Structure 1
Amino acid sequence: MKRFLLLSAASLALAGSAVWAHSDEAPQAQSAPADAASLKPLRFGSWGVDLGARDISVRPGDDFDRYANGSWFRRTEIPADQASAGVDYDVYNLTQRQLSALVISAPASGQVGGLYQSFMDEARIEALGAKPLMADIAQVEAIRDKAEMARFMGRSQGAFGASIVGGEPYADTADPTVNVLWLGQGGIGLPDREYYLSDDFKTQRDAYRAYIVRTMKLIGNAAPERAADAIMAFETEIARASWAIADRRDLGKINNPMSSAELAAYAPGLDWDAWFAGAGIAAQKRIIVNEKSALRDIAAVYARTPLGTIKLWQMFHVANNAAPYLPKAFVDNRFEFAKAMSGVSEQRPRWKRGLTLVDGSLGELVGETYARQYFPPSAKAKMEALVANLKLAMGDRIRGNSWMAPATKEAALAKLEKMDVMVGHPDKWRDYRGLKIDPADLYGNVQRSAAFEYAYALSELNQPVDRKKWSMNPQEVNAYNGGLENKIVFPAAILQAPYFSESVDDAVNYGAIGAVIGHEITHGFDDQGRKIDANGAVRDWWTKEDAARFETQARRFGAQYATYEAAPGAFINPDLTMGENIADLAGLEVAYDAYHRSLGGKEAPVIDGLTGDQRFFLAFAQAWRDKARDDAIRQQVASDEHSPARWRIIGPLRNVDGWYKAFGVTADAKYYLKPEDRTRIW
């Protein structure tokens, strides 16, 4: 359940190495505020809703986002170093302050303190200049043929650099108890193929080319303009061959098993033996090839492109991925592009970028301390009780469903029963002792960390799936459904107010974190989750009649979203966002049912003139309040499966009968839907 863009748009578009950035000539001057008050949990009012954020001059049915958050919108300015402002950033920034208290005080002799110290040592970084990078650039310059380049691309899986394909182990679609290699398209630096092909993104495309020119100058290229044109032409061809993002989320389309030999025969434009050798992967009997035709066509683009062009492309991406760990000239150059992409006008403070590096490199090592300090056992117990109640409510919805055949309902209930729940943090923590951290070697630290992470992932290839493994750190403000692992995961950091608190009104917890829990549960039954059975295997366990009725409702629901203009000229793509939109609606409905179940048949008390149902829906809307820059919204609409926050409020609510009753929404309201026009999937 992705909440927001933590970093700049360019960070997301150009991330190649798995980690980020930090220096300590004068850490006292740049340290995060770590006084006791700044580390306290956030709180809305005395019982969990920010009554002062509302604009009660707006009718709830005309714009519930404005009704719940309008006064907050008027008084809120987006910080210069953020793409948006809202609850997500509030909780994220609190978590950053909490982490800073742990990381900044860590001794430089340890891994956490040593990594942070290496990033904060700006004087040393400036003194070294581009020397660490140029050693890697020299490796690219020395490449003599495309087989060598294929090996280099394979090695870039755990290093600076780029590849036209990429992969990692994940559960097999046929046997979800074992990990096999999943392989997908790569090769572009902008967020999605449309950034190369659509006139809507000409400004961002021009900014990207200008960034390439500046980067090639920094690494000493004698003809940076010509190099940029060649790189852009190469990536544009790759973009044309690439699949659209809506197709890339379709399990039926991306599930294409092949052996290494079959892949080499199908996509002969790339020396696959060389690529796999560079990646440290032996010949495989079974690979899940995702964008099948794209891999073939991108390999053909590679085959017909001159080696000199591909070397320029590789040099640029090595420099781009390394830029956050290089002198100020590289960092500022990269940020110029970020500004053009997202509208952010100021870089995040260096201490925050340093925390991001530590978080990305030593996530569970930091997370173990974080969870112990900020997530008490009592919170875990309360959250687990909430999840259990949500699962019961989902079960009721499945049993009461009017469009599912009895056998399909039985299979759905079996999947729900087997769905594992993970709350707060892993039961078993990762061992980082094999990762060498040197407080005087930032560049080397990042390289070694990337290689360490890649080796950790690769160690699971053809091994049993560890269903207790976490894909998020405890300090991440997010949650997810494990897909083929049939599990839902809620890190400690999202289990803070105003999403969740042990001391607020139950209606608030159910409206805020309850809707998140419901969202993740129902991902197991959305347009893609319905293709995965209780054991995690990819198979169609619905009848044709069930599927037809589901798809009819899904199309009607999608038609609503197609009318939502998220930013001027940028309308939501219902094919791309369908799964998340369904999970938003069903999650809200399941949370609403679970809230009423928790009342045990009693009437909820009225608090500050608000009924329990009104408090529930207000908490839901305030948990999603967000004010974002238009450029960031446009990027999200083009490349993200999640609808922008405003439509994650309005879109589901107007389909929920209880919301109409709670606020007396009548037929003359802007977002009124007739009962027969409301989507009823779960």
Structure 2
Amino acid sequence: MHQSFFVRRAALSAALLALVAGAAQAQTKIKTKSSAGKEKITVSTTGQSGVGVTLANLDRSVAPCDDFFRFANGNWMKNNPIPASETGWGSFNQLRDRNRGVARRILEKAAADRTAKPGSNMQKVGDFYAAAMDSVAVEKAGLKYLQPRLNQISAIQDVAGVQAYLANPKNIGKGWYGFGVGQDGKNSSVYAVQLRQGGLTLPNRDYYLKEDARSKTIRAAYRTYQTNLFKLLGDDQATAEKNADAVTRLETRMAKASRDPVALRDRESNYNKMSVDKAIADYPNLNLPLRLKESGLSGAKEIIVGQPDYLKEASAMLKEEPVADQKQYLRWHLVESVVSALPKAFVDEEFRFSKVVSGAKQPQPRWRRAFAATDGSLGEAFGQIYVDEDFSPAAKARAKQLVENLRVAYAERIQATDWMSAATKAEALKKLNAFVVKIGYPDKWKDYSKLSVSRESALNNLFAAADWGTQDNLSKFGQPVDRSVWGMTPPTVNAYYSPSLNEIVFPAGILQAPFYDPKADDAVNYGGIGAVIGHEMTHGFDDQGRKVDSQGNLRDWWTKEDGEKFMAKADVVGKQFDAFSPLDSVHVNGKLTMGENLADLGGLTIAYAAFMKTPQAKAGKPIDGFTPEQRFFLNFAQIWRINQRPEAMRQQVQTDPHSPGQYRTIGPLQNMPEFHKAFSCKDGDKMVRSSADRAKIW
């Protein structure tokens, strides 16, 4: 569960392959106080003692060839317990914390400024944050601003009423299925109407269906959470329990029809284009003509269906399930989607449930939740203000140069592969050269002029932002594809690859130490942000990204033989990660994490190849007792440092396509002869996979 104010609603944006989980959805813009040509940052390429690699983090009692993750991070892990409000604590968390500190200063200043021009970004950002922080007003309002929407659900009398509710784009909370507008996977130059599975509260289908003790504990906590929220809405105990059971029964039926996380990764099987007429015939009870009409999409002739079997079940449910139960489902998802903008009693119930799922010991402070809401709802309005203070043109220029250096190294590696045919190499190089690179912030900012924000009600601001976001999405249909859009906001400590746009994107938030440090040597920066850049590039060639061509279209551009060779190599990585076990009876899922594991291995390989072209690598001068090559690998390992609660670890392994941090370090390095040479590791050492089991793709 998320401890945040933002509305959780199903959106059909293009799939983003992010560096880490939990990427915020939003956008931003930047103005610089000094021109790009005048502001300079001195970048060290040779390095200096005590900068870049944090020697105090090392645990020298651990042999680097035995467990490099512990060698690089052991002392840090001993000295950095997880804060009570966190589910884990690592380099990403620390940098996010630092960025949030900057954001908080900006937001508090904006909230205190009552002179901002009405309708300006500053006014909207300041008022949104101020309303989210006003706990007195939230408590006083109670259910006042929620009640009209609850009354709307209460007035539903039949299936037609449910269909009309689902069709209204102003209504929020999960429905029976996901609906929206996104790029056509096989024709990336146009937008298409898309339908997909959805409707669950718990992270995925397994949480409803597995019979192990942990799953049963979570379901029991979920029932308590539902029951207590229904009571806060006015139900007595018996009615609240009855309604909770009805919602869970409906969601369990949905779960049984849903695809699991591994199946959802397959781009081909999740692309099923059909005519609108066929969709209406196949899913008669969804009343798609009404949904399309109310969404302004009556002109659509085709629909892309993600999971046809699920949609058939959703259609059957609308007809078969009692309307009274369906109303409770809608009521639950309305209130659950906006819990954190409701009085404290609601927030407390959500946190009690999240404790069971994630292991957090105390709630996030209110300002953190208010920041997340502002960033999620007004990402680019806030982003324009944020980057003025926290991102320099010189940092952007340096990152751009690193990207181009890695692009050159990648091209050389593709050309040098001994398993890929000339025809496939030519297509791969075409795709590599077509990568669009976005750094820091958007060149074109979102226009929030139609979004009204006031200090009256945090909940009303959420409703307004959700409505604006839905209309922004639906308005894309029939328009040229906007290739300027961003899927993350500037403060975000993350990066992503978008297959449909064939672009790699690096927000300002991650272009800081330990990922990028202008005072550090090239070894540090190539092992940090260089590996991140290489990771996102490699997503274009992972087991799913490789199915998309240079224009972002789902098309098989590989020869049959080359494709088979690639998958054989990928399977080696899959089996390697299947064997990793962070907790008793918990194993990493090599199929679920395949794309991220391939991106880690490929990204590190390319970053190292690019680093070896630098003067520092050629000079070979040690710093703080470590060679340039060793510093490269040390900083790579240090960016993945993390302590994690067992509950959060279990949830990650079950739901997340990213492997736990220690295996993102160990896994690639076990396959890299360059690492083995740098630290004099020998056959038989734990950090050395046997040559027969060693993965090498690029």
**Normalising TM by the smaller chain, what interval?**
over 0.9
Cα 1:599–1:297 change in 2 (3 A) is farther
Query: Aligned runs of 1:495-534 on 2, under 5 Å?
Result: 495-534=511-550
Cα 1:13–1:325 change in 2 (3 A) is closer
The answer as to whether partners of 2:4 and 2:340 remain within 8 angstroms in 1 is no
Which 5+ residue runs of structure 1 have no aligned equivalent?
1-7, 22-42
Partner secondary structure for residue 616 of structure 1: helix
Q: Please say if 1:619 is aligned against 2:612.
A: no
Q: Please say if 1:431 is aligned against 2:431.
A: no
The answer as to whether partners of 2:91 and 2:641 remain within 8 angstroms in 1 is yes
Q: Please say if 1:208 is aligned against 2:222.
A: yes
- Give per-residue Cα distances to partners, 1:243-299, cap 9 Å, x unaligned: 111111111111111122211212234222233344443252122211122211232
Q: Please say if 1:179 is aligned against 2:207.
A: no
Report the CA distance between 1:10 and its aligned residue: 7.1
Cα 1:510–1:465 change in 2 (3 A) is same
Aligned to 2:97: 93
Aligned to 2:17: none
Aligned to 2:150: 137
Q: Please say if 1:650 is aligned against 2:650.
A: no
Q: Which amino acid in structure 2 is aligned with residue 93 of structure 1?
A: D
Aligned to 1:64: 68
Partner secondary structure for residue 621 of structure 1: helix
Cα 1:145–1:583 change in 2 (3 A) is same
Correspondent of 1:672 among 688, 695, 698: 688
Aligned to 1:162: 174
Partner secondary structure for residue 602 of structure 1: helix
- Give per-residue Cα distances to partners, 1:388-432, cap 9 Å, x unaligned: 001111111110111111000000000001111111111111221
Cα 1:487–1:320 change in 2 (3 A) is same
Correspondent of 2:207 among 181, 192, 195: 195
Query: Aligned runs of 1:13-412 on 2, under 5 Å?
Result: 15-16=8-9, 46-106=50-110, 107-108=113-114, 110-155=123-168, 158-200=170-212, 201-222=215-236, 223-412=239-428
The answer as to whether partners of 1:44 and 1:50 remain within 8 angstroms in 2 is no
Identical counterparts, % of pairs: 40
Cα 1:219–1:544 change in 2 (3 A) is same
The answer as to whether partners of 1:13 and 1:189 remain within 8 angstroms in 2 is no
- In 1, the alpha carbon distance for the partners of 2:450 and 2:56 equals 51
Aligned to 1:592: 608
Report the CA distance between 1:230 and its aligned residue: 1.3
Cα 1:628–1:183 change in 2 (3 A) is same
The answer as to whether partners of 2:617 and 2:628 remain within 8 angstroms in 1 is no
Cα 1:44–1:254 change in 2 (3 A) is farther
Aligned to 2:36: none
The answer as to whether partners of 1:254 and 1:290 remain within 8 angstroms in 2 is yes
Q: Which amino acid in structure 2 is aligned with residue 115 of structure 1?
A: F
- In 1, the alpha carbon distance for the partners of 2:49 and 2:580 equals 32
Report the CA distance between 1:501 and its aligned residue: 1.6
Partner secondary structure for residue 417 of structure 1: helix
**Larger RCO (CA under 8 A, 6+ residues apart):** 2
- In 2, the alpha carbon distance for the partners of 1:153 and 1:64 equals 52
- In 2, the alpha carbon distance for the partners of 1:639 and 1:11 equals 20
The answer as to whether partners of 1:270 and 1:299 remain within 8 angstroms in 2 is yes
Partner secondary structure for residue 408 of structure 1: helix
The answer as to whether partners of 2:131 and 2:456 remain within 8 angstroms in 1 is yes
Correspondent of 1:419 among 435, 438, 444: 435
- In 1, the alpha carbon distance for the partners of 2:235 and 2:298 equals 36
Report the CA distance between 1:600 and its aligned residue: 8.0
Aligned to 2:492: 476
Cα 1:347–1:280 change in 2 (3 A) is farther
Aligned to 2:574: 558
Aligned to 1:31: none
Structure-1-length-normalised TM-score: 0.93
Report the CA distance between 1:16 and its aligned residue: 3.2
Partner secondary structure for residue 582 of structure 1: helix
Q: Which amino acid in structure 2 is aligned with residue 218 of structure 1?
A: L
Cα 1:564–1:63 change in 2 (3 A) is same
Partner secondary structure for residue 627 of structure 1: strand
Report the CA distance between 1:76 and its aligned residue: 1.5
Task: Name which of structure 1's ranges 138-147 and 162-171 shifts more when overlaid on structure 2.
Answer: 162-171
The answer as to whether partners of 1:48 and 1:505 remain within 8 angstroms in 2 is yes
Cα 1:626–1:657 change in 2 (3 A) is same
Partner secondary structure for residue 338 of structure 2: helix
Report the CA distance between 1:435 and its aligned residue: 1.0
Q: Which amino acid in structure 2 is aligned with residue 560 of structure 1?
A: Q
- Give per-residue Cα distances to partners, 1:642-677, cap 9 Å, x unaligned: 111111111111011111111111223223212232
Q: Which runs of 4+ in 1 moved over 4 A?
A: 8-14, 17-21
Task: Name which of structure 1's ranges 539-548 and 634-643 shifts more when overlaid on structure 2.
Answer: 634-643
- In 2, the alpha carbon distance for the partners of 1:644 and 1:14 equals 28
- In 1, the alpha carbon distance for the partners of 2:653 and 2:323 equals 35
Query: Aligned runs of 1:441-456 on 2, under 5 Å?
Result: 441-456=457-472
Which 5+ residue runs of structure 2 have no aligned equivalent?
12-21, 25-46, 117-122
- In 1, the alpha carbon distance for the partners of 2:138 and 2:327 equals 26
Aligned to 2:27: none
Partner secondary structure for residue 363 of structure 2: coil
Structure-2-length-normalised TM-score: 0.90
Cα 1:20–1:632 change in 2 (3 A) is closer
Report the CA distance between 1:79 and its aligned residue: 0.6
- Give per-residue Cα distances to partners, 1:98-149, cap 9 Å, x unaligned: 1111111012451111111111211111111122222211111111222221
Report the CA distance between 1:158 and its aligned residue: 4.9
- In 1, the alpha carbon distance for the partners of 2:9 and 2:3 equals 11
CA RMSD, Structure 1 to Structure 2 (Å) = 2.1
- In 1, the alpha carbon distance for the partners of 2:65 and 2:299 equals 59
The answer as to whether partners of 1:17 and 1:450 remain within 8 angstroms in 2 is no
- In 2, the alpha carbon distance for the partners of 1:10 and 1:461 equals 33
Q: Which amino acid in structure 2 is aligned with residue 255 of structure 1?
A: Y
- In 1, the alpha carbon distance for the partners of 2:638 and 2:545 equals 28
Task: Name which of structure 1's ranges 538-547 and 292-301 shifts more when overlaid on structure 2.
Answer: 292-301
The answer as to whether partners of 1:343 and 1:629 remain within 8 angstroms in 2 is yes
Report the CA distance between 1:17 and its aligned residue: 7.7
Aligned to 1:32: none
Report the CA distance between 1:472 and its aligned residue: 1.1
Aligned to 1:36: none
The answer as to whether partners of 2:183 and 2:500 remain within 8 angstroms in 1 is yes
Q: Which amino acid in structure 1 is aligned with residue 545 of structure 2?
A: G
- In 2, the alpha carbon distance for the partners of 1:68 and 1:174 equals 44
The answer as to whether partners of 1:100 and 1:355 remain within 8 angstroms in 2 is yes
Task: Name which of structure 1's ranges 211-220 and 290-299 shifts more when overlaid on structure 2.
Answer: 290-299
